[in-house]
Amino acid sequence: METYLGEKQQARQWSPYINNGGSCLAVAGDDFAVIASDTRMSLGYSIKTRYSTKYLKITEKCSIVSSGMQADIFTLHKVLKSRAQIYEQKHGKPMSTDAVAKLVSRLLYYRRFFPYYTFNIVAGVDEDGVGCVFSYDAIGTLERVKYSASGSGSSLIEPVLDNQVALKNRNDIKKEEFKLTKEYAIDLVKDAITSAGERDIYTGDFVEISVIDLNGTHEDKFELRFD
């Protein structure tokens, strides 16, 4: 039986989505979390701006970084910021990191049929003071992990974190002997995103890095390659 397949479409259909590139990552320790993102915003092979933030501090104990389409990132962050304020006014205290994580998941699923083109990572310390990282897909699938990377450089960064944080495929060190200290994690995050900047054309310019622990959030910024 023959089926009529129809003519192949010549013209490309308009898409509401574009990818502005950029990389994000986060690593959780026993009592801290490190979260970082680059600030380059690209379109095709051009750079739109060298500084467009992908990072938002939601509470003193929780932050989010997002990669993907800058318009959706900006809007999602705006909505999240408002929701955090509403929560604080209603409950008299800031949102816990778990609550933020769940809220982000719900906000994303709310747009299940026209998703935010964002790939988010939420990181912070939970109610017990333990560091946590939550990673998402575009429609809000939520998973708590020890580390995560997203964005154009994620395939370059994730294997590094697998090897250095989870100690996968290593014969030289045993899990019991390894302790993830804050200094080690900060250096690792810096090195990982710097290395991504070397090879990924969409990652570069500046990095916003943030260390979160029970004392609060310490934000910092450093330069990457401008090429």
Side-chain-side CA neighbours of residue 215 (13 Å):
4
Distance CA 172, CA 93 (A): 46
Distance CA 122, CA 133 (A): 6
Nearer to other proteins, 85 or 215 (CB): 85
Nearer to other proteins, 44 or 92 (CB): 92
Give the residue carrying structure tokens 């997203």.
150
Nearer to other proteins, 12 or 90 (CB): 90
Pairing of strands 131-136, 142-145: antiparallel
CB of residue 94 vs other proteins: minimum separation in angstroms?
Answer: 13
CB of residue 208 vs other proteins: minimum separation in angstroms?
Answer: 19
CB of residue 110 vs other proteins: minimum separation in angstroms?
Answer: 16
159, containing H or E segment: helix 154-164
Nearer to other proteins, 24 or 73 (CB): 73
User: Would you count residue 91 as binding other proteins (CB under 8 A)?
Assistant: yes
Residue 23: partners with Cβ closer than 8 Å, 6 or more residues away:
37, 38, 67, 149, 150, 151, 152, 153, 154, 156, 157, 193, 196, 197, 200, 202, 203
With CB under 8 A as the contact rule, the residue among 7, 11, 92, 179 that binds other proteins is 92
Of residues 58-87, those binding other proteins (CB under 8 A): 78-79, 82, 85-86
Nearer to other proteins, 85 or 163 (CB): 85
Give the residue carrying structure tokens 């060190």.
173
Helix 97-110 vs helix 70-91: angle between axes, to the nearest 10 degrees? 130
CB of residue 56 vs other proteins: minimum separation in angstroms?
Answer: 14
Distance CA 33, CA 177 (A): 20
User: Would you count residue 89 as binding other proteins (CB under 8 A)?
Assistant: yes
CB of residue 90 vs other proteins: minimum separation in angstroms?
Answer: 8
CB of residue 60 vs other proteins: minimum separation in angstroms?
Answer: 14
Nearer to other proteins, 72 or 205 (CB): 72
Size of the site for other proteins (CB under 8 A): 9
> What CA dihedral angle connects 148, 153, 71 and 121, to 10 degrees?
0
User: Would you count residue 46 as binding other proteins (CB under 8 A)?
Assistant: no
**Binding region for other proteins (CB under 8 A):** 78-79, 82, 85-86, 89-92
